[in-house]
């Protein structure tokens, strides 16, 4: 991870300066936040995926295993629940589950409450793997946040939570 303490000299600042020169009539200040968040999200994704890869997992496979583990014993969810929790289509969940099932990390069975439904569950090997990966993942996330202190993290978390809620909360109807 490359960090710069001189934010005024970062890539986004240079882009903004060029736009201010070329289009002084535009307020390009949103790029200061959006551009940096976009670049940071890309960089963070690369750093996160590198950890999953060490364990032979894709980002999506990690997401499925983590979602099942978070469910608590007996570590299972329906495909629909997995799709909602991982925010992907049911087709994408099926592909991920197929790969994980081939590796013996999850199993499928008929639902006891809905004869047509299926349930996806962690196998013991899947639980062991996701526990190991989660430990490495959290170590990595702590490392990635080390560039900012605890007070800055708390402020950033509050701001991002408020902003994300504005995107994820459906508008009121009426």
Instruction: Provide CB contacts within 8 A for 103, sequence distance 6+.
Output: 56
Q: Three-class SS of residue 29?
A: coil
147-157: pLDDT as tens digits: 999 999 999 99
* Domain coordinates in residue numbering, the chain: 12-54, 57-145
At 124 the pLDDT is 97
At 14 the pLDDT is 94
pLDDT over 50 at 117, yes or no = yes
E strand or H helix that includes residue 57:
none
pLDDT over 70 at 26, yes or no = yes
- The mean per-residue pLDDT over the stretch 30-54 comes to 96
- The mean per-residue pLDDT over the stretch 137-142 comes to 98
Write down the architecture of domain 57-145 according to CATH.
Orthogonal Bundle (1.10)
47-102: pLDDT as tens digits: 999 999 999 999 999 999 999 999 999 999 998 899 888 878 888 898 999 999 99
Residue 120, strand partner residues: 77, 108
| Rounded CA separation 150/172 (Å) | 35
Terminal alpha carbon distance of the chain: 47
Give which of 40, 49, 52 is closest to 134, Cα–Cα.
52
pLDDT over 90 at 174, yes or no = no
At 8 the pLDDT is 56
Contact indicator for 54, 136 with CB cutoff of 8 Å = yes
Backbone dihedral angles phi then psi of residue 77, each to the nearest 5 degrees: -150, 160
Instruction: State the pLDDT confidence band at 115, using cuts at 50, 70 and 90.
Output: low
List the structure tokens of 132.
Answer: 């190991």
At 2 the pLDDT is 45
User: pTM of the predicted model, to two decimals?
Assistant: 0.83
List the structure tokens of 139.
Answer: 């170590």
List the structure tokens of 107.
Answer: 């199993």
pLDDT above 90 as % of the chain: 75
Instruction: State the pLDDT confidence band at 172, using cuts at 50, 70 and 90.
Output: confident
Quote the mean pLDDT of the chain: 90
At 156 the pLDDT is 96
Instruction: Provide CB contacts within 8 A for 53, sequence distance 6+.
Output: none
At 168 the pLDDT is 84
């Amino acid at each position: 991870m490359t960090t710069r303490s001189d934010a005024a000299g970062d890539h986004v600042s240079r882009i903004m300066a060029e736009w201010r020169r070329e289009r002084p009539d535009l307020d390009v200040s949103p790029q200061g936040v959006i551009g940096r968040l976009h670049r940071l999200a890309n960089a963070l994704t690369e750093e996160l995926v590198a950890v999953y890869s060490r364990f032979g997992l894709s980002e999506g496979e990690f997401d499925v295993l983590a979602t099942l583990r978070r469910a608590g014993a007996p570590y299972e969810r329906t495909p629909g629940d997995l799709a909602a929790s991982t925010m992907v289509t049911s087709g994408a969940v099926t592909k991920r589950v197929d790969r994980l099932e081939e590796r013996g990390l999850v199993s499928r069975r008929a639902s006891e409450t809905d004869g047509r439904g299926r349930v996806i569950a962690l196998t013991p090997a899947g639980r062991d793997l996701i526990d190991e990966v989660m430990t490495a993942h959290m170590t990595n996330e702590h490392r990635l946040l080390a560039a900012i202190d605890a007070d800055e993290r708390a402020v950033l978390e509050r701001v991002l939570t408020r902003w994300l809620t504005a995107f994820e909360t459906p508008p009121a109807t009426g």
